[in-house]
Amino acid sequence: MDQQKTFVCISNFFKGNDFLINLKQLGNTVFLVTTEKLRDKPWPFEYLDEVFYMEGQDTDWNLEHLLLGVSNLMKSTQVDAVVALDDFDVEKATYLRENLRIPGMGQTTGRYFRDKLAMRMRAKSCGISNPQFCSLFNDHDINTFADTVAPPWVLKPRSEASANGIIKVYDKESLWMHINEMGNNRFKYLVEQFRPGDVYHCDSLILNGKIIFSITSRYLATPMEISQGGGIFRSANIPYNSEDDKAIKKINEEVIKGFGLKHGAAHSEYIKCKENGRIYFLETSSRVGGAHLAEMVAAASGINLWAEWAAIENALAKGIDYKLPKVKKDYAGIVLTLSKFENPDLSCFDDNEVCFRVPLDYHAGLIVNSDKHEKVLELLDNYADRLVRDFATVAAQPEVKHLH
């Protein structure tokens, strides 16, 4: 049996190098489809058999052209799997799989990991605690929601990533003003109750529908707060087997099972409501978390989510067993901000716990690692204050112009 398999990997953003490298090192043919705008990024070209470039980025891609390109590739090459490396690529990958009958997640299941309305409805049907929500299809339903669910509310684009495009509203009049401004795009949004609380993320690896690895972390400043008010992004994994850790891992298992993710990586977010202490599902995605959370997870656990996801895909394509490496139980945290300097000099952050410096232009960020949770939190607080004082700047949130 030929053990070399062929993978088409899709990424609209520069990410996933460890995935691509490990997939190639495991003895496979690896093709990358990305955007022309990322041609000059340091992709691991020596590990890629060929790179194909699409015009535009994300919603600008012509899916018929993408389909035609991959179908032409298949005339001479057996494609065994299509992998989406970023949130925005999930629809593209499911579209290819459906049309070319390639195994893997199809369009209906893909919706549960991209469309926030589909997520809400799926969670509700599975009995998973959700904020109260309403689609924007029907005026009567919207009025009923506004009259029965206490504000504040948030209007969310159904298929944007992170906190992009979210609008917070405090009364019914403002709600309708924003909905009317959306015009014919209103169906691409939903409204849901805003519940203040601590936001957690659970990063997982899944094989045959079962979670084989997961780690729970807490955002010390939420993505929504940062995207709308500026500030310092911070996250750290929480004490193992704590009440919050056990509760979030339990609901995370319900989400992964209920939403039908069979294998790969998942980044899911939950909120612990300040009012009642309950854990609510916020959103999920079938990918590795962004903002260098993968490096933070690796520092805490020894598990490289990108590399292990590639190993899972390799094992499935070849029909062989996959074994998770030994997991350590340390603590790690990340602190990250936009920087007023293109290449900030972070050499003054010289504690022994510093294990990674974020290599992004106009960003200042570090990851710290310790066997003590308190030490990680202490360093993150200290570093956040110093970054604000010496490096941080704020950029306007980009306007969402092309909705999915």
Together in a domain, 136 and 282: no
> Is 75 in the same domain as 157?
no
Quick check: 66 pLDDT over 70? yes
Which of 147, 174, 193 is the C-terminal boundary of a domain? 193
pTM > 0.75: yes or no? yes
- Span 122-175, pLDDT tens digits: 999 999 999 999 999 999 999 999 999 999 999 999 987 656 789 999 999 999
Residue 126 lies in a domain: no
Q: Are residues 50 and 136 in the same domain?
A: no
Q: Are residues 173 and 211 in the same domain?
A: no
Q: Does one domain contain both 189 and 215?
A: no
Is 363 part of a structural domain of the chain? yes
Q: Residue 244 domain-assigned?
A: yes
Residue 381 within any structural domain of the chain: yes
Same-domain pairing of 245 and 382: yes
Distance CA 196, CA 272 (A): 8
Alpha-carbon radius of gyration of the chain: 21
Q: Is there a contact between 249 and 216 (Cβ–Cβ < 8 Å)?
A: yes
Q: Beta strands 29-35 and 50-54: pairing type?
A: parallel
The pLDDT tens digits for 8-47 are 999 999 999 999 999 999 999 999 999 999 999 999 999 9
Rounded Cα–Cα distance for residues 29 and 49 (Å) = 6
Report the residue count for the chain: 404
Structure tokens, 7: 């993978």
State the pLDDT at residue 5: 97
Backbone angles phi, psi at 147, to 5 degrees: -85, -15
In a domain, 125, yes or no: no
3-state helix, strand, coil in the chain (%, to 5): 35, 25, 35
Which CATH number does the domain housing residue 38 bear? 3.40.50.20
| Token code pair at residue 399 | 């306007």
User: CA–CA separation, 224 vs 79, rounded Å?
Assistant: 39
Domain holding 186: CATH number?
3.30.1490.20
At residue 57, the pLDDT reads 83
Mean pLDDT (the chain) is 93
Residue 362's pLDDT is 87
Are residues 362 and 263 in contact, defined by beta-carbon separation less than 8 angstroms?
no
Please answer whether residues 77 and 6 qualify as being in contact, where contact means their C-beta atoms are separated by less than 8 angstroms: yes
- 169 has which bridge partners? 153
The CATH number assigned to the domain holding 248 equals: 3.30.470.20
Whether 224 is covered by a domain: the verdict is: yes
Domain encompassing residue 51: 6-104
**Interval 44-70 mean pLDDT:** 94
User: What is the distance, to the nearest Å, from the Cα of residue 116 to the centroid of all Cα atoms in its chain?
Assistant: 13
CA distances from 338 to 125, 166, 362, 393 (A): 40, 20, 6, 6
Domain contains 400: no
Q: DSSP secondary-structure letter at 348? A: T
Whole-number Å distance between alpha carbons of 171 and 84: 39
Let me know if residue 298 belongs to a domain: yes
- Both 78 and 149 in one domain: the answer is no
**Same domain assignment for residues 246 and 363:** yes
H/E stretch holding 118 reads helix 116-125
pLDDT in tens, 255-277: 999 999 999 999 999 999 998 99
Please tell me whether residues 259 and 168 are part of one structural domain: no
Q: Do 148 and 174 sit in the same domain of this protein?
A: yes
* 162 and 148 within one domain: yes
Same domain for 155 and 85: no
User: How do strand 50-54 and strand 81-84 relate by DSSP bridges?
Assistant: unpaired
Domain count, the chain: 3
